[in-house]
Amino acid sequence: MRSIFISIMTFLMMTACTTAPEVNIGIVPAPVSVSVKEHGRFALGDNITVKAASEDLLAPAAVFAEQAGRILGYVPEVMSGKSGRNAICVSVDPSLEKEEYRLKVTRSGITVRGGSGQGVFHGLQSLRQVLVECKDAGALPLMTVEDRPFFGYRGMMLDVCRHFSTVDEVKEFIDILSMHKVNTFHWHLTDDQGWRIQIEKYPLLTEKGAERKETVIGHASKSREYDGKPYGKGMYYTHDQIRDVVRYAADRYIEVIPEIEMPGHTLAALASYPELGCKGKGYAVATTWGIFDDVACPGKDDVLRFFEGVLDEVIELFPSHYIHIGGDECPKTRWKTCPYCQERIRKEGLKDEKELQSWFMKKMEQYINSKGKAVIGWEEILEGGVSPTATVMCWKHPEIGIEAARLGNKVIMVNSQYSYFDYYQAEDTSKEPFAIGGYVPVSKVYSYDPYDSLTGDDRKPVIGVQANLWREYIRDMSHVEYMVLPRIAAMSENGWSYDRKDYEDFVLRMDGLRMLYDINGYNYAKHIFN
């Protein structure tokens, strides 16, 4: 029955734009329902306006008008108002859920109603896809779209530590997320290879910790050759720049979650303030990729005070509900021989170094909670026990996500075998840009089941999905675009349309997004379009 429905809908949508050349109208991620009339149209003239029913909708209306201008050839005027001919009228409907929307195209105009400004913005992004597919036909079909997301959390992570992105490039990344109805930008700001956020209390973090003396050439696992070129001087975000990015994201209804890695992946911090480590000396910002034995020392009270000082400034800058505190890939080698760590284990009655990490992470969570925020950590925060109020980001072992869900922790699924966009998109890598390895084509991303083997009530703690872009080998924005697009569309449909996925139909519906990629000049992989 579903395949028959899809065939009928595809036929109707392909013939609905007028007698002009056939147009395949498809919205990604898949809406809950689309109904298209066989006759009638809304003409795309040069006098379309965008009318906002309330003042708070003027900002999203303006963002959309600028986006529509790239399609229509002119930027529609934005004004206050609830109705009008040849107008796109946007309004909030309290009867709808926050991210839910209703899009209706009639002969006289277009209406977009959302449960909030965010719902309105999602509806406008769907309209954007319809516009680009029908621009050559000069008219839109008469249609009604009803839509809402399945998962509340739909995220994408960008690593700016290994290779940096300018503020304008970060904004472009946010534009890509909003186009795909991704509502969370996870910003990976600190790591072994560079500290990328200004902390006024600790200026050496960016004076020393932002720059490495050189970078490994080729795959780190196979090469010990280096380029001999310093990288990262001045490559960090000031407080004002971060506020600018957060505002830009908010105008597109995207929450920005900062990540401050601890207690592992902290070499850049240790190089800046050596007393934070167990040895207390001999640290340098990492010049290669991997996992390093030198990590922050949880046995020293000053280390707790340091991270609290960092978090104070981070929390002031980011209005997000969550703060991500890392917790992954933290070797315990130094802790086993560190007198400070061993004394902490003895004093706190801990069983081992794993429980020491758990003790440290719980201390950080308590501090963050005291500031009115919640914590996300990678799955390793489960080692040695975890607070039931922490949200776990499961990336490596699906069974850990299952365990966390059954413990009652909220879980975000980021399975690396499906959701790591630093992996290759083709089996034949000879014509692909350099990547870390692996093979994750669009079809594999799409096939991911975030519920894995969870059933019934065990599914409730899973709040959403995310994809990650680690940038050991991804140097510039063109490469970022290629690795993300169009895989982010498949991830988006996993999160937004989990209960209505169909891969063959998804590929058909991708034409509109592909046109938007072209209009915006994005560099994207074309495997599914061949």
**Residues 156-170: tens digit of each pLDDT:** 999 999 999 999 999
Q: How many CA atoms lie within 13 A of 335 on its CB side?
A: 23
Report cis status (omega within 30 of 0) of the bond before 263: yes
pLDDT for res 22 = 47
Could you tell me the two tokens for 524?
């994207």
pLDDT band at 384; cut points 50, 70, 90: confident
Helix, strand and coil content of the chain, in percent to the nearest 5, comes to 40, 20, 40
**Considering only CA atoms, which of 496, 522, 394 is closest in space to residue 183?**
496
The CA distance from 528 to 530, in Å, is: 6
Residue 217 in contact with residue 227, Cβ under 8 Å? yes
- Give the percent of the chain with pLDDT over 70: 95
Report cis status (omega within 30 of 0) of the bond before 94: no
**Does the pLDDT value for residue 437 go beyond 60?**
yes
Please name the amino acid found at residue 494. N
**Considering only CA atoms, which of 248, 27, 56, 257 is closest in space to residue 154?**
257
Per the DSSP assignment, residues forming a β-bridge with 391 are 376
The CA distance from 443 to 495, in Å, is: 15
Pairing type for strands 190-191 and 194-195 reads antiparallel
Q: Crossing angle of helices 167-179/239-250, nearest 10°?
A: 20
**Does the pLDDT value for residue 9 go beyond 50?**
no
| pTM > 0.85: yes or no | yes
Q: Give the phi and the psi of residue 42 in degrees, each rounded to 5.
A: -110, 115
Q: Crossing angle of helices 487-496/477-484, nearest 10°?
A: 50
For 243-299, what is each residue's pLDDT tens digit? 999 999 999 999 999 999 999 999 999 999 999 999 999 999 999 999 999 999 999
Q: How many CA atoms lie within 13 A of 314 on its CB side?
A: 30
Q: Give the phi and the psi of residue 113 in degrees, each rounded to 5.
A: -110, 135
What one-character-per-residue DSSP string does 41-64 give? EEE--S--EEEESSGGGHHHHHHH
**Does the pLDDT value for residue 15 go beyond 60?**
no
Could you tell me the two tokens for 5?
């429905």
What one-character-per-residue DSSP string does 112-151 give? EEESSHHHHHHHHHHHHHHHHHHTTTTEEEEEEEEE--S-
Where along the chain do its domains lie? 2-147, 153-496
**Does the pLDDT value for residue 20 go beyond 80?**
no
**N residues, the chain:** 530
**Does the pLDDT value for residue 516 go beyond 90?**
yes
Residue 383 in contact with residue 357, Cβ under 8 Å? yes
pLDDT for res 3 = 42
The CA distance from 79 to 92, in Å, is: 16
* Ordered alpha helix ranges (H), 318-424: 333-337, 339-348, 353-370, 398-407, 416-419
Cβ contacts of residue 14 below 8 Å, gap of 6+? Answer: 22, 23, 24, 25
Catalytic residue annotation: 191, 265, 329
pLDDT for res 24 = 61
Could you tell me the two tokens for 67?
């986006």
Report cis status (omega within 30 of 0) of the bond before 141: no
Can you count the helices (H) and strands (E) in the chain?
A: 18, 19
**Does the pLDDT value for residue 423 go beyond 50?**
yes
pLDDT for res 415 = 94
Q: Which residue has the tokens 């400070």?
A: 340
Residue 311, helix vs strand vs coil = helix
Q: Give the phi and the psi of residue 185 in degrees, each rounded to 5.
A: -105, 110
**Does the pLDDT value for residue 4 go beyond 50?**
no
pLDDT for res 92 = 98
For 173-213, what is each residue's pLDDT tens digit? 999 999 999 999 999 999 999 999 999 999 999 999 999 99
CATH of domain 2-147: 3.30.379.10
The CA distance from 16 to 191, in Å, is: 52
| Angle CA 33–37–40, to nearest 5 | 140
**Considering only CA atoms, which of 177, 131, 137, 135 is closest in space to residue 158?**
177
The yes or no reply on domain 153-496 and CATH 3.20.20.80 is yes
Q: Give the phi and the psi of residue 35 in degrees, each rounded to 5.
A: -125, 130
